[in-house]
Each structure stands twice: as structure tokens, then as C-alpha cells.
Amino acid sequence: MSSEIMTSVLSGLDILYSWIWGAPLLILLTGIGIYLTIALRGLQFRYLGYALKLVFGSRKAHPEAEGQGDISHFESLMTALAATIGIGNIAGVATAITVGGFGALFWMWVTALLGMATKYAEAILAVKYRVTDARGEMCGGPMYFIESGLGWKWLAGSFAFFGAVAALGGGNMLQANSVADVMRTMFHVDPWWSGVIVACLTGFTLLGGIKSIGKVASLLVPFMALFYIAGASIILMYHYERIPGAIMAIMTQAFTGQAAFGGFVGSTMLLALRVGVSRGLMTSEAGLGTASIAAAAAKTDLPGRQALVSMTGSFLATIIMCSVTGLVLGVTNVFGQLDAQGKLLNGASMTVAAFDSVFSGGGYVVTIGLILFAFTTLLGWAYYGEKCVEYLCGIKSVAIYRILFTLVIIPGAVLELDIVWKISDVFNGLMAFPNLIALCALSGVVISETRLFLNVLKAEQEAAKEAAALLENS
């Protein structure tokens, strides 16, 4: 592709991105989050502790939570987090800060906190309206609850189409390119070899379907998250006295804006807000609807129980993981610095520079984390994409899509992917529209299902207290 055509395409995508991520989507995203938070009376805050116990507690501690499904609560969440925790938590945070200043992180927090209610609603609808396909696997997500709950097949088909394309772009090629880039930079591995190796590992995992993906994700996601957080904690402890200043910068620049892009040009609050919301959506998937596809596969007795589990994904991916990256960038003062070639540090290179500034080999923590994050993101999005294609074209199309998804990894590892970044943002926004419209239209169902679930939960808790009291008095 010639440079003139490349420039024209990028310019067109920039215009499309600005239009999609303009006021209507920002208002819809934040508006539905605020409305659901109020309508559900802050459920995401009141029941966060119980939700985390469901995720990380033993199955024996919550036998009532078992029900029909393909994978456990934990495996379902790890599959969703596999797709959610990716380069957005390392490179995406740095890019957002470069463009919108540290205030962008504040708006990522707001998006995630409100998005927990949104994600709860997506999951409760996904489980309520899920179906069983010819292989006996659960199928659910926005395309199913839009069709079954509203009867709007055209809107359901739109979501599925946008989801399938986004999976091949941002969920596949972008991740493969990130792995190839760090492997070439840090270990001098040819991108073609990186692409072939990642494609083989991905294809082998996909053969086992959601159960195989769930098992791999439940092993890799906790390990990679703890590994990355451990490395970041060393940096934060080393610069502990700078943490208050970094937090202050995040809070104040949310309403003033200070971007490094272009050499510390002042960015407006709207820019910080737009970048923060779009990156908050990317890192938490709240409002995107894709995480509910994994939620629909969970073994659960009630939609509300899995919905609580699903909403913790926003908390873990954005409030925890992105905050760790943002604080590291803040305390190491790499914001606005130039690299050896005189280019402004941005993306993963900024995060690598931050880690390297404190201890020798710190960049390898970022490198290993980035490789694992990108690989698990590939797996999660492969499942999302195949379910979208299955909805559009039937179950026979899944095998073909898996082959296509695996093969696309190889060119993705080699190509320059400025265009794919843009396409990823555009299709993420396009996916959000039908999902959010459906959440608005089906909010009454969400509220009624929540009331039923909370009544059951209250009865269970009272029964547990009575049993504990009898045991204590015996």
C-alpha cells in the first residue's frame, strides 16, 4: 500500500473514529452506566465482596452457585479477563496518557466503576436468554438477548458482524503484532517465526473449544497478572514518596488536560474524557457486550449470580491493572520523554522505559507480561469471534472461522498495524451501539431479574446465619 493511500485511509479512519467516539456514544455509555447504578441502587458496590468470594472461593463454599453451563464461574471470568487484560493495560494506558494526559486515567476509572453495573446487566441478560447449540454448548451474548428479548434481528446481526470483524483486527492481528514486536526488540526473533509459533499455540488451544480456552485462561491469567503487579509493586515501593503526586496529577488533569503528544500541548478536558472513556471501554469491555458471551457459558443456577461474577472483570482489569500501570508511569517521570531516536515515548515503549528506570531488566517484566497478555487476549477474542460467526452463519462455520483466525495471526505479526489500531477502535465503538441500545430497552428485565435473585440471596444468607447459630449453640 503506497504512503499516499495509507495516509488517506488513516485520515478517513480518524474522521470515522472522531464521529463514532463523539458525544452520542459518550453520553450513551456514561448515561446507561449512571442509570443502571441508580436503578440497581449501587449493586456493584454493595455486592462486590460477595462477587469476589464467588470468583476466588472454593466451589464447596458455594454449592448453590452450580448449575447448567460449560465452565465454572472462575473459568468464565478468566476467559473474559483473557480477552480484556491485554496490551490495553500496558500500551493502551500509556497511549491514553500521552494523548489525554494523566487525567485520562481518571475517566478510565469512572468508566469502569459505572461499567460494572453495565457489565452486570449484560451478563444477567446473556445467561437469561442463552441457548444450547447442536454441540451441546451454551451460546449467549448481545446477539441472542437482542433477538430473544426484543426481536430485532437486524440489530443482533449488526452486533455479531461488528464483533467478528473486531476479533480478527484488534483481537487478533493487533495482539500478534505486539508479541512479534517485543520478541524482535528484546530477543531478536524474526516476526515470521513469532507469528508461526503463536498461530500454532492458538490453533492447538482452539481445538478444544471453550473448555480448553477456559482451562488455559484460568492458569495463565492469574499468573500473568500477579507477575506484572509484583514487578510494578517494586517500582511503586522504590518511589513511594511520589505516589501522592501521581494521584494528584490524575485527579487534577482530568478537568484540565495535559498531553505529551506533540510536545506537551495542552489537551482539553473533552480530549481526556474521550480518550479515557474509549480506553476504559477497551480495558474493561463494559458496554462492549463481548464479556457477556463468556458469561453465558458459565455453570450457574441463577443469571444474577453469574452477573455479579462478570462485573468484577471491570474492577480487576481497569481499577487494579490499569491503575498499576498508570501509577508506575506517574512516579517514574517518563511522561513526555524522548527515546534514543528522538521520538516521543509512547505505548509499550513508555512502560518499558518506566520499568527499566528502576531496576536492571525491568523491561523484561513488561515484555513477558505483554506476551502473555496478548496471547490470552487472542484466545478470548477467538471465542467471541466464533460465537458471533456461529450466530450469523451457523455451527458449521465455526471450524472455518477457527482456521481463518489462526492463519491471520501470521500476517498480523509482520504487517504495520497503524490501520488495525484505528479499525479496532472503530469496530469497538460500533459494537457498543447495538449493545447499549438493547440494555436501555431491556433494563426493566434486568431490574426484575435482579429483584428475584436478591430475594433468593437474602433467603440463602438468612438460612446460613440460622445454621451457624444452631451449630454454635449445639
Q: How confident is the model at residue 181 (pLDDT cuts 50, 70, 90)?
A: confident
Q: Are 280 and 274 in contact (CB under 8 A)?
A: no
Average pLDDT over the chain reads 85
pLDDT at 415 over 90: no
DSSP string, 18-70: HHHTSHHHHHHHHHHHHHHHHHTTSHHHHTHHHHHHHHHS-GGG-GGG--BSS
Q: According to DSSP H, which parts of 69-208 are helical?
A: 73-84, 91-100, 103-128, 142-150, 153-168, 174-187, 191-206
DSSP symbol at 240: G
| pLDDT, average across residues 431-449 | 95
Q: What pLDDT shows up at residue 282?
A: 67
Share of the chain above pLDDT 70, in %: 91
Q: What pLDDT shows up at residue 264?
A: 43
Q: What pLDDT shows up at residue 464?
A: 82
pLDDT at 94 over 90: no
pLDDT at 260 over 60: no
**In the chain, where the domains are located:** 1-473
Q: What pLDDT shows up at residue 116?
A: 94
Q: What pLDDT shows up at residue 265?
A: 41
CATH number of 1-473: 1.20.1740.10
